[in-house]
Amino acid sequence: MRAWAVVENGAPLQQIDLPTPEPKGTEVLIEVTHCGVCHSDLHIWEGYYDLGGGKKMSLKDRGVMLPLAMGHEIVGRVAKLGPEATGVKPGDVRIVFPWVGCGTCAACRAEEDNMCLTPRSLGVYQNGGYGTHVIAPHPRHLVDPGTLDPAVAATYACSGITVYSAIRKLMPIAADEPIVVIGAGGLGLNALAVLRALNHRSIIVVDISEEKRRAALDAGATKAVDGSGPDVAKRIMEAAGGPVLGIVDLVNGTATARFAFGALRKGGKLVQVGLFGGELSLPLPLMAIRALTVQGSYVGNPKELRELVKLAQEGTLPPLPVATVPQSQANEALMRLRNGKVTGRLVLRAEAA
Ligand SMILES: [Zn+2]
Ligand SMILES: [Zn+2]
């Protein structure tokens, strides 16, 4: 197999040849046809997360080994089944749930694999979709996209379930009660699509880019607020007609967390999703007096992936804009994302797909 791998943190991806893995036990070998390029790939490529105050969390210390084929938004064809794998056959097209764990703990057995304490996520702790082949540990990690565009379906494995799971944590909120989405990149447009599919009618998007705000309004946002400069919380509350009940922060940096927290109403909840980095100091009496919730949300689970794919198959989830790029241009795609030149999602496409 061939991979476009991180060989050195921060250096261009390199094309390398590896032995094609042989599926063991319940494993399924997948021939990758599509793989989304996710913003979190940039952090894996750089090798750390910024924790604020000059502190960094090294991914190497957390068990990320190089060389690594990144890529966790994978769609492909079943190529070969391990001796204990059932339920799929060679040639079947499947979305691969990448946030896999040990497979045996209570969280994994409850299909909350993303809450496993020993994560083995594809494209993070083991090779992912920036390659010609990938191993799925179990057929239950495979979801049939049906007639969905595979390039769009690939994005449901990360950006899709990430926003779906975050929005589920905010609900129930009445359809006309404003929900604020911070960040209008790939995740933001996905969040808009999911909220609309769930029949939510009042969605305020915040972004510093005028182009991305316009894309969000075109995609059905009720209002768009400029997230740059001072007084962003005030502008959000003006747009919402007062402090807001639910905010999803898809950027989650020091500046966005601060204005998001400042715009919450009594009983409000801020769900933090992005991995931009930084820190937030909370006024503790306000947390209590206003009964506020700040909750983190990390990707999603296989149940949520199946629910989201079902929503898409019912036709209520508008497909987000994707652009495909040949797999061999993985490095160029990653650099385009790094330079902030991407509206919607870039998806690597195998030459044969
Ligand atoms: Zn991702
Ligand atoms: Zn586990």
- Banded model confidence at residue 183, pLDDT cuts 50, 70, 90: very high
Query: Tokens in use for 209?
Result: 């880019």
- pLDDT tens digits for range 95-107: 999 999 999 999 9
Nearest ligand (C-alpha, residue 190) = 1
CB atoms within 10 A of CB 11: 10
SS (H, E, C) 111-160: CCHHHCCCCCCECCCECCCCECEEEECCHHHEECCCCCCHHHHHHHHHHH
Give the helix/strand (H/E) hosting 283: none
d(C-alpha 164, C-alpha 66), whole Å: 31
Phi, psi of 268 (to 5 degrees): -75, 160
Instruction: Specify the pairing of strand 93-96 against strand 73-81.
Output: antiparallel
Question: Measured in angstroms, how far is the CA atom of residue 104 from the centroid of ligand 2?
Answer: 5
- Centre of ligand 1 from the C-alpha of residue 78, in Å: 22
Query: Which pLDDT band, with edges at 50, 70 and 90, does 176 fall under?
Result: very high
- Give the residue with greater pLDDT, 61 vs 302: 302
pLDDT, one tens digit per residue, over 273-313 is 988 889 999 999 999 999 999 999 999 999 999 999 999 99
Whether residue 167 contacts residue 160, with contact meaning beta carbons closer than 8 Å, is answered with no
Among 213, 194, 197, smallest CA distance to 205 is for 213
CA of 151 to the centre of ligand 1 (A): 14
Proximal ligand: closest to the CA of 156: 1
pLDDT at residue 189 is higher than 90: no
Nearest to 41 by CA among 138, 159, 205, 134: 159
DSSP class of 173: -
* Model confidence at 51: pLDDT above 80: no
pLDDT at 337: 93
pLDDT at residue 29, as a whole number: 98
Report whether pLDDT(343) > 90: no
CA of 271 to the centre of ligand 2 (A): 24
Asked whether the predicted pLDDT for residue 345 surpasses 90, the reply is: no
The average pLDDT across 45-56 equals 84
Residue with tokens 């599926």: 23
More confident residue, 27 or 318: 27
Closest ligand to C-alpha of residue 138 is: 2
For residue 335, give the H/E element and its range. Answer: helix 330-338
User: What confidence score (pLDDT) does residue 40 get?
Assistant: 87
Looking at residue 171, what is its pLDDT? Answer: 94
Instruction: Give distance in angstroms: CA of 132 to centre of ligand 2.
Output: 27
The pLDDT > 90 percentage for the chain reads: 86
For residue 245, how far is its CA from the centre of ligand 1 (angstroms)? 26
CA 347 to ligand 2 center in whole angstroms: 29
Helix H or strand E encompassing 337: helix 330-338
User: Pick from 237, 193, 227, 233: which is nearest to 207 by CA?
Assistant: 227
| Residue 115: Cβ-neighbour burial (10 angstroms; 0-12, 13-18, 19+) | middle
Kindly state the average pLDDT of the residues 192-202.
94
The strands making up 244-249's β-sheet, listed across from edge to edge, are 223-226, 203-207, 179-182, 244-249, 264-272, 293-296
**C-alpha triplet 128, 341, 208: angle, nearest 5°:** 110
What is the 138 CA–ligand 2 centroid distance (Å)? 13
* Closest-approaching ligand to the CA atom of 160: 1
Expressed in angstroms and rounded, the spacing between residue 98 Cα and the centre of ligand 2 is 13
For residue 353, the model assigns a pLDDT of 64
Q: What is the DSSP letter of 299?
A: S
Per-residue pLDDT averaged across 85-111, rounded?
A: 97
**What pLDDT was estimated at residue 181?**
98
